[in-house]
């Protein structure tokens, strides 16, 4: 394997409850943007495995009028700085800024880059000069898994493998290679797998 493609919200940084909007979503302010525990250390570990790291994330906040392009860039700078402080490196960042219900006209479209479509992953792989079959796709949502599987990546699910998720992914080919509670745990699983130690496939939690 040559690269790891990471979703952002829920994998890199914490999701935020926004009472006014009535949603759990991406951060809308710089103060809300914080890396989850162990993330910077996990990215450094992936780097130490000679894996390139790229962010591939649906980010429709600008399209929906929740934040500005300048604020999104501030998020990027904070993320890159904190990862660098831990000795890690993010090699590329690719966002899909579109949304079919956007309030910003130029961003209102059904694009090929919004996951679960694979355009964003293809762009990252091209940027990193790697084949998608040589990439892990790590995410916390169904669109991440579907995009990763469709693109031919080895998929990793961050979170709990619940019945609500199982019902959407009953087809065996959509289920992730393995699950982890955090990016740090995922990085350890990737390290073990690359060192030839078998990782346990996710169990169907339904009925357990």
- Which residues does the annotation mark as catalytic? 7, 9
129-135 long-range contacts, CB within 8 A, separation 24+: 130/2, 130/3, 130/52, 131/2, 134/1, 134/2, 134/3, 135/1, 135/2, 135/3, 135/4, 135/5
3-state DSSP assignment of residue 83: helix
The upper half-sphere exposure of residue 24, i.e. CA atoms within 13 Å in the direction of its Cβ, equals: 5
Give the CA dihedral 50, 56, 62, 63, nearest 10 degrees: 170
- Spatial separation of the C-alpha atoms in residues 177 and 104, rounded to whole Å: 38
């Amino acid at each position: 394997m040559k690269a790891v493609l990471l979703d952002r919200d829920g994998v890199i940084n914490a999701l935020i409850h926004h009472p006014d909007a009535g949603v759990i979503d991406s951060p809308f302010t710089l103060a809300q943007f914080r890396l989850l525990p162990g993330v910077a250390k996990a990215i450094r570990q992936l780097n130490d495995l000679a894996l390139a790291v790229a962010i591939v994330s649906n980010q429709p906040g600008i399209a929906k009028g929740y934040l500005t392009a300048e604020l999104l860039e501030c998020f990027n700078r904070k993320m890159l700085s904190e990862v660098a402080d831990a000795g890690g490196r993010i090699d590329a960042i690719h966002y899909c800024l579109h949304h079919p219900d956007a309030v910003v006209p130029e961003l209102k479209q059904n694009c090929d880059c919004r996951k679960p479509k694979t355009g964003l992953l293809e762009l990252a792989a091209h940027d990193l000069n790697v084949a998608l079959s040589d990439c892990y796709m790590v995410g916390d949502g169904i669109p991440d898994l579907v995009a990763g599987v469709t693109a031919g990546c080895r998929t990793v699910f961050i979170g709990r493998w619940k019945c609500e998720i199982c019902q959407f992914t009953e087809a065996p080919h959509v289920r992730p290679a393995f699950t982890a509670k955090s990016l740090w745990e995922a990085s350890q699983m990737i390290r073990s797998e690359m060192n030839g130690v078998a990782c346990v496939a996710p169990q169907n939690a339904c009925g357990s």
